[in-house]
Amino acid sequence: MNTYIQVLKEDYFLAFITFGGLVYIIVLIIVLFYYLFKVFFKL
Amino acid sequence: MTRISHTQLFALIVAFEVGSTTLFALGIGAKQNAWIVIIVAYIIGLGLLWVFTQIPKYYPHRTFSEILNETLGKPLAKPLILLFSLYFLHQTTHNFYEFGALIKMTALANTPLIVILYFFIFAIIYILSLGIEVLGRTVEIFLPYIIFFMVVIAILNMFSGEFELQNLRPVLNDIPSIMGEVPRVIAFPYGETVVFLTLWHFIRQQSAIRKSTYWAVGLSTFLLILSLIQIIAVLGAELASRTEIPLLETLLSINIAEIITNLDSIGVFLMFIGGFYKTAVHFLGFSLAMVWFFERHNPNWVIRIGGILLPLFSMYRFSSLDDQRWKGFETGVYVILIYSFIPILLMLILHLKNKTMKRKESHQ
């Protein structure tokens, strides 16, 4: 884990796409739950 | 719009998959069980490929950007397209630098790296500017040579006298180390095929995408296992894990009656062709995503301007081959896993959205 953070500290480009990707996974999970909610409650 | 056939897609995926995997002894962390790691990763990778090839089934002949816009809406789709384009650029620089450095190391020792990179990128710019059908036709020409050379290398290795099947034993002696290596191999090379999401709309026969992809990945996995078994049988697991380019080392060990020897030129050929297509496909993915982000139609301006700047950016990012490999092994693999996980969520959203739409239509 330490090496992972060390690499991210050295390469800001890599850090940007890593965190961007993680943030988007969270966003997509929220969207997924929104649609799941719609399907489940037949809205 | 220009289109490519499913045979060309097949050739492109095989060249892409075999591309940089010939450089590494994949899954060598599991020692002599590395080939088992590949089989396990292949089975899981097939699931991943099922997801990637399911997306164009919902929207055939539509670009990845159009699919994202329709699924998530423009405000959410735009940043995601930008992120994907940057991820493809990241992959491009990794492959581009690596192959440039390896060519310098193996064939053009006295040539400055920047010169090799510029010659490399000029060929890529030229082919990509002519369109994807030219990329498809060239790979169709080169693929038989790639397969032929890989099979010939395997046969020659078996008769070289250095081939020791004992090096592959004991089998399955360390299952935790096998499972530890599997995520890396899922990401590289199977997860990397996420870039083909940007190319699916170019395929003429949309119904053949999944079939061609599965056959291509099956063949490349076979070639991969074949080269891995040779590497371990000739070098042994310990030496294979320490060597910079294991396939080249196995080639150098071939000496049949002092006649068939010094076959490293075949290795350089395989490396260059594989690296070329791997870089070109990622670079095309980056260019297309950039064009979609700026809502333009012609990717040629990104290909040309981006291509001219690419060697400078690659040299800026990586100070040496060791630096590139360190960054690639420590974090690059996880980045690939992140970006190959996003399509899984997208596919689920697409499925649920389609379900709600169908229900609404049936109510009306």
pLDDT at A43: 65
Q: A4 contacts in B (CB within 8 Å)?
A: 330-331, 334
Indicate the SS3 state at residue B205. Answer: coil
pLDDT at B1: 63
| Chain B stretch 329-358, residues whose beta carbon is closer than 8 A to a beta carbon of chain A | 330-332, 334-335, 338-339, 341-342, 345-346, 348-349, 352-353, 355-356
- Which residues are CB-neighbours of B129 under 8 A, at least 6 positions away? B300, B303, B304
Q: B58 at the A interface (CB within 8 A)?
A: no
Q: Tens digits of per-residue pLDDT, B244-286? A: 888 888 888 887 877 777 788 888 888 888 889 999 999 999 9
Q: B355 contacts in A (CB within 8 Å)?
A: 39
- pLDDT confidence band for B32 (50 / 70 / 90): confident
Give me the percent of chain B exceeding a pLDDT of 90: 57
Q: Is the pLDDT of residue B22 over 80?
A: no
Q: What is the ipTM of this complex?
A: 0.93
- pLDDT confidence band for B362 (50 / 70 / 90): confident
Report the residue of chain A nearest B331, measured CA to CA: A4
A22/B338 touch (CB, cutoff 8 Å), yes or no: yes
In whole angstroms, how far apart are CA B10 and each of B5, B33, B155, B213, B218?
9, 29, 25, 6, 11
A21/B83 touch (CB, cutoff 8 Å), yes or no: yes
B327/A7 touch (CB, cutoff 8 Å), yes or no: yes
Q: In degrees to the nearest 10, what's the CA dihedral of B90, B94, B99, B104?
A: 120
Q: Is the pLDDT of residue B103 over 90?
A: no
Q: B126 at the A interface (CB within 8 A)?
A: no
Q: B285 contacts in A (CB within 8 Å)?
A: none
- pLDDT confidence band for B124 (50 / 70 / 90): very high
Q: Is the pLDDT of residue A41 over 70?
A: yes
Task: Give the span between the Cα atoms of B87 and B83, in whole angstroms.
Answer: 6
**Structural tokens at position B361:** 């239509």
B86/A27 touch (CB, cutoff 8 Å), yes or no: no
In whole angstroms, how far apart are CA B91 and each of A7, B7, B38, B77, B189?
16, 25, 21, 21, 12
Report the residue of chain A nearest B90, measured CA to CA: A14
- pLDDT confidence band for B195 (50 / 70 / 90): very high
Task: Give the span between the Cα atoms of B153 and B355, in whole angstroms.
Answer: 51
Q: Is the pLDDT of residue B91 over 90?
A: yes
pLDDT at B291: 95
Residues paired with B255 in a beta bridge: B261
Residue from B275, B177, B208 nearest B5 by CA: B208
pLDDT at A1: 66
Q: Which of A21, A27, A35 shows the shortest C-beta gap to B76?
A: A27
Q: A37 contacts in B (CB within 8 Å)?
A: none
Alpha-helical regions (H) of chain B? 6-21, 34-58, 64-72, 74-106, 113-129, 132-158, 175-185, 209-235, 237-242, 246-252, 264-293, 300-317, 321-327, 333-363
- pLDDT confidence band for B358 (50 / 70 / 90): confident
